[in-house]
Structure 1
């Protein structure tokens, strides 16, 4: 197969590659004697579901980082590895992890990816959203500050040791900024806000896969809703994929656009 250029695909981590929320809910239920399930989460702003403030929820999550629930109980998403390995083997796509995870858990994040997705990703980019220092921002997009701070963590090659960034750990960058850095052609993410931001602010972006049938991604921004509902399949820039087998089909379509006859 001959292609015009290598494709670049940005892949979110939590709820796309790994079941982060499932492990967090197990921890929260044990600590607080609650009975929440992932299906209860209509929002990924956790305090919207279990109550309290965003800052309090951030403290719960950071406490979770210190436990075996975070270190050992985050399971990979079904079929993700098989699909990614298939396309990695074709040697026409460069895959990057583009995650909103905090820089304080970058080393643990890399170790988890090495355990479950070894050899697949060319690099890891971390946005440092929901950090203690900027919990008030929540999801960082181009509209609320992402991309405005020049002191950002650099891309971490997946084959390199993880080093703690020497710059300001409180700084955050948007998914759009990270996707621009790698000139991503496709983003696979479960968050509608990130889909909108990347389509509007990343010139190389051809399409976004809105991944998973989750409570928090059923309601989408008006601009994304129109892209999902009112465009012919061949022209859609946003597509829903409930699982990785559907993602596989979207990767086939994307590759077909770049094939040289």
Structure 2
């Protein structure tokens, strides 16, 4: 869901997908080199003018993206996950402080992030999707897919691990991405039926059932058998939301809030 930020103008073409796969990149401390962090750095390097987000006058922690007084870098969950995540991100998403794909990469070690393109699939993304260790699922509402592609359960073949493909964008952008990504047409579409209303309060949606990307990822982890990682991601999202809004409204920091207490078992 869009937050009204202005976006950078890319240098020449937007045909190629820029990627940040699993391995750490040199030049950053290991704690700051997950896939979304690196993709953000690539987007900034290619921008022809500064990205201006809401509240951009205040300095932000480069790791957790909130102002230093509300930094939560020491609250990053430490949990294992069998599943992998593949984020195809609309080009402005890695730059938005409210983006929750960042949280997924914090929690799930095997998270890859790619800038979405309708024209070409980056070789690194193609290699990931063809890697025999993974069983990919495109996560999207089944009403937008051919019925024969739609599944509601994760049934992984022996020797494989689930790889959840998430389209990280506003709802309008994500629908366009789903329609215009022919390289994903060969994969089943995992259609989620969430019972809860979205808890995400950093951007507005017209429909309560529209979940943010991290909420979707947590549901996928639960379906894939990674219950501990699912709980950690849910709790981490709640803490991120609390710290982000606390910084926005200059609220006192409560280290014993329900969000802090819920996350503690995963630290």
Same fold (TM over 0.5): no
Structure 1 length-normalised TM = 0.32
Tell me which protein shows more helix as a share of its residues.
1
